[in-house]
C-alpha cells in the first residue's frame, strides 16, 4: 500500500512516534513504580493495542462498553469507572473488571454488594482544585458532579474500600503545579489514603511533552506513594497518543468571500470534534507561518463556523492537494460521527518498517445502520 494511493479522508497512526511516547511511559514507570492504565475515553483504536500492551499495565474506562473493550482487546488490569452506573451495568462489568471505581458514595452504597468478592472497590474523590484549562473540562468547576469532595466524605467508608481515584489535570505540563496538587491531596485526604491499597491520580499529566521534567515527576509520584503506603496509578490518554496521528484530507474547492477558504473533504464537527468544542484550531503540517498565501481551512459540513484553522502556505493551494491535520488521535477517533452523511475517515497504521496496515474503513452501510436497523411496520 502506497500512501498517495490511499483515499482521503483517513487517519494515519505512526508507530514510531507512538513508541517514542511509550518509551517515556516505560521510563516513568521504572523510575517511580507507578502503574499506567490507558484511558480508553481518549483513544480506543484497538487495532494498535498490540504495540501499546508491552508498555502499559492495562486500561481504564468511562462506560460499560469501554470496560469490555479493554478486557477483550488489551487485557492486563481492567479498571472500570463511570460517572453513573445502572444496576445492569454494574452486574455486567463486575465480572470482567479488576477494580470498580464509583463516582459517589450513594452509588458505592447501592452497588457494592454486586462487586464484593469479584473486583476491588474504589471511590472517586474530588480535591476541589485542578490544573485544567477550560471550565468545560475542569473537574473542579463549580458544583462539579465528578467525585466526592472532602467536606462530604463519610470517613468510615475508607474502612471497606481498596482504593481511590482522583482526576484533576488536563494537559498539565508543569511538574511544580502537579506537586502542589499532590501536597493539597495529602493534606486534605491523607489520613484516608493511608488506609488504602492503591490510589489513582487519573489522567492529564503530560509527561510525554518535549522538555517535560520526567525525573522530577517520577520522584514526586514515588514520594506520594511512599507517604501513603499505596500503589500509585496514572490513567494517561493524551500523553500516550499525542503527536502520533494525522488526519489526512484533500482540498475539494477554494472559495473567496473576503478571505480565501480551502474546503476539505472532512469536517471538525464530524471528524475532529474537539476543535469545535474547545475552539482550539488545528495545525496543518504543510503550513508555514511565513507563507504568503493565507487560507481558512474550511470543513465540508453545513455548519457555518465549522473550520479547522487559518493557515499560511508558501504556494496557493490546489484542488486535490492533500493536507495533514496534525495530532488528530486523542479524543478525536473516539468521537467520530456521521453528521451530514460525510465519508468517514479510514484508519491506517504506518509501521516502523514503513509498511502501511489498514485498521478500519467505512461505507454507506455503516452510515445507514447507525441510523436505523429496522423501520416501522
* Interface residue list for ligand PLP (CB under 6 A): 39, 41-42, 81, 167, 170, 202-204, 235-239
CB closer to ligand PLP, 167 vs 192: 167
| 213 or 274: CB nearest ligand PLP | 274
DSSP 172: B
Smallest separation (angstroms) from ligand PLP to the CB of 235: 4
Min dist. Cβ of residue 337 to ligand PLP (A): 19
Which residues 6+ apart lie within 8 Å of 236 measured at CB? 25, 36, 38, 39, 203, 205, 207
| CB 77, min distance to ligand PLP, A | 14
Burial class, 237, CB count within 10 angstroms (exposed 0-12 / middle 13-18 / buried 19+):
buried
Residue closer to ligand PLP, measured from CB, 205 or 249: 205
Cβ distance to ligand PLP smaller for residue 310 or 334 = 334
CB closer to ligand PLP, 77 vs 265: 77
Q: Which residue of this chain has its Cβ atom nearest to ligand PLP in the complex? A: 203
CB of 51 to ligand PLP, least distance (A): 18
Residues 248 and 286: beta-carbon distance below 8 Å: no
Question: What does the buried/exposed string (b/e) look like for 96-121 if buried means 16 or more CB atoms within 10 Å of the residue's CB?
Answer: bbebbbbbbeebbeebbebbeeebbb
**Cβ distance to ligand PLP smaller for residue 26 or 260:** 26
Q: Compute the least distance from the CB of residue 178 to ligand PLP, in Å.
A: 13
Residues 6+ away with beta carbon under 8 Å from 132: 138, 139, 140, 168, 169, 170, 172, 204
Helices (H), the chain: 15-32, 49-52, 64-73, 87-94, 105-115, 175-193, 214-228, 238-241, 268-271, 273-277, 364-371
Q: Least Å distance between CB 170 and ligand PLP?
A: 6
Amino acid at each position: 500500500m502506497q500512501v498517495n494511493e490511499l483515499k482521503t479522508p483517513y487517519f494515519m497512526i505512526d508507530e514510531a512516534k507512538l513508541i517514542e511516547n511509550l518509551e517515556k511511559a516505560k521510563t516513568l514507570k521504572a523510575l517511580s513504580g507507578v502503574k499506567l492504565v490507558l484511558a480508553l475515553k481518549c483513544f480506543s483504536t484497538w487495532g494498535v493495542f498490540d504495540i501499546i500492551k508491552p508498555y502499559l499495565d492495562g486500561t481504564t474506562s468511562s462506560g460499560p462498553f469501554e470496560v469490555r473493550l479493554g478486557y477483550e482487546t488489551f487485557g492486563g488490569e481492567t479498571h472500570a469507572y463511570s460517572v453513573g452506573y445502572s444496576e445492569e451495568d454494574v452486574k455486567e462489568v463486575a465480572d470482567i473488571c479488576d477494580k470498580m471505581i464509583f463516582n459517589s458514595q450513594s452509588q458505592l452504597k447501592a452497588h457494592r454488594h454486586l462487586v464484593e468478592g469479584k473486583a476491588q472497590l474504589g471511590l472517586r474523590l474530588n480535591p476541589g482544585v485542578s490544573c485544567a484549562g477550560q471550565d468545560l473540562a475542569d473537574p473542579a468547576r463549580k458544583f462539579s458532579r465528578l467525585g466526592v469532595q472532602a467536606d462530604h466524605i463519610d470517613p468510615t467508608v475508607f474502612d471497606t474500600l481498596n482504593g481511590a481515584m482522583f482526576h484533576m489535570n488536563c494537559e498539565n505540563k508543569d511538574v511544580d503545579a502537579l506537586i502542589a496538587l499532590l501536597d493539597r491531596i495529602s493534606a486534605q485526604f491523607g489520613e484516608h489514603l493511608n488506609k488504602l491499597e492503591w490510589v489513582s491520580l487519573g489522567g492529564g499529566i503530560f509527561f510525554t511533552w518535549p522538555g517535560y521534567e520526567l525525573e522530577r515527576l517520577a520522584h514526586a509520584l514515588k514520594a506520594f506513594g511512599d507517604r501513603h503506603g499505596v500503589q500509585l496509578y496514572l490513567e494517561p490518554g493524551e500523553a500516550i497518543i499525542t503527536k502520533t496521528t494525522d488526519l489526512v484530507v484533500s482540498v475539494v474547492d477554494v472559495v473567496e468571500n473576503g478571505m480565501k477558504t480551502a474546503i476539505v473533504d472532512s469536517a471538525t464537527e464530524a471528524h475532529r470534534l474537539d476543535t469545535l468544542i474547545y475552539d482550539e484550531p488545528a495545525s496543518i503540517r504543510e503550513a508555514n507561518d511565513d507563507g504568503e498565501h493565507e487560507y481558512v481551512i474550511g470543513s465540508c459540513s453545513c455548519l457555518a463556523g465549522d473550520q479547522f484553522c487559518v493557515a499560511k502556505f508558501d504556494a496557493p493551494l490546489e484542488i486535490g492537494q492533500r493536507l495533514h491535520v496534525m495530532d488528530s488521535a486523542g479524543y478525536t477517533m473516539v468521537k467520530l460521527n456521521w453528521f451530514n452523511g460525510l465519508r468517514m475517515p479510514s484508519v491506517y497504521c504506518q509501521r516502523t518498517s514503513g509498511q502501511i496496515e489498514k485498521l478500519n474503513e467505512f461505507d454507506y452501510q455503516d452510515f445507514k445502520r447507525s441510523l436505523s436497523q429496522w423501520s416501522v411496520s
